[in-house]
Amino acid sequence: MEIDNEEVNHTRVLLENSDGFDGGSDWRYEMRRECQEIIPNLVLGPYQCSKDTAFLTSAGITHIVVIRGEAEAVFVRPRYPDQFSYLVLDVRDSEEQNLIRIYPEAREYISNALQNGGKVLIVCNGGISRGPAITIMYVMEAAQVSFEDATNYVQNKRYCISPNLGFQCQLKEFEAIYRASLAIANQPTLTRDSKRRLEDDDSIEADIDARPSRNQRV
């Protein structure tokens, strides 16, 4: 799925018009238990929000990304598969966990939902590390902005985020990966063989699809 320039421009405008990092001034501790809308129709929060059918219905949620480790599968799971569409991602909150290989599946799911008028909720157990990391990756790529800008923007919406150090390193790496992918995709004169050689040289093919779809706090 090719990136949608209109969606890129729209997401960029949202970031450029944001007030910067000021979430701490109005943030209350109990808000970490709530969800926050990051960009239109993309919501981030803790798993407990996905158990509240009244909230899900009133917020217009149609799709839910559940991020959990194997040990959490008993209690972090799709609760209402007859009412909502789910994507379950097996992700440990570990510095050794590879997010870059998992992200394309999340990106495709989120993009398809948004393109079809859906509203996506991304949750992990506490809404602190794993969910925010995937959200930052999506904002980074959708708006074609830097790791720092995407992280500051997401944290301005949900002050309590804190991806683990391993995730932060991967988010920085992902900026270079998606920018290289865009550079390759935007060179129409390259032959398929030429593109393949560039991808192999940069090890892009092993980490993420060459064609992106659209739409830390340390």
Angle at CA of residue 134, ends 184 and 146, nearest 5°: 50
Q: Identify which of 110, 165, 97 has the alpha carbon closest to the alpha carbon of residue 137.
A: 110
Residue written as token pair 């979430």? 23
Q: What is the Cα 105 distance to its own chain's centre?
A: 11
169 is catalytic: no
Q: Number of C-alpha atoms within 13 angstroms, CB side, residue 64? A: 31
Q: Is 129 exposed, middle or buried (0-12, 13-18, 19+ CB in 10 A)?
A: buried
The catalytic residue among 35, 49, 124, 160 is: 124
Provide CB contacts within 8 A for 91, sequence distance 6+. 67, 68, 69, 97, 99, 102, 124, 130
Q: Which residues are catalytic?
A: 124
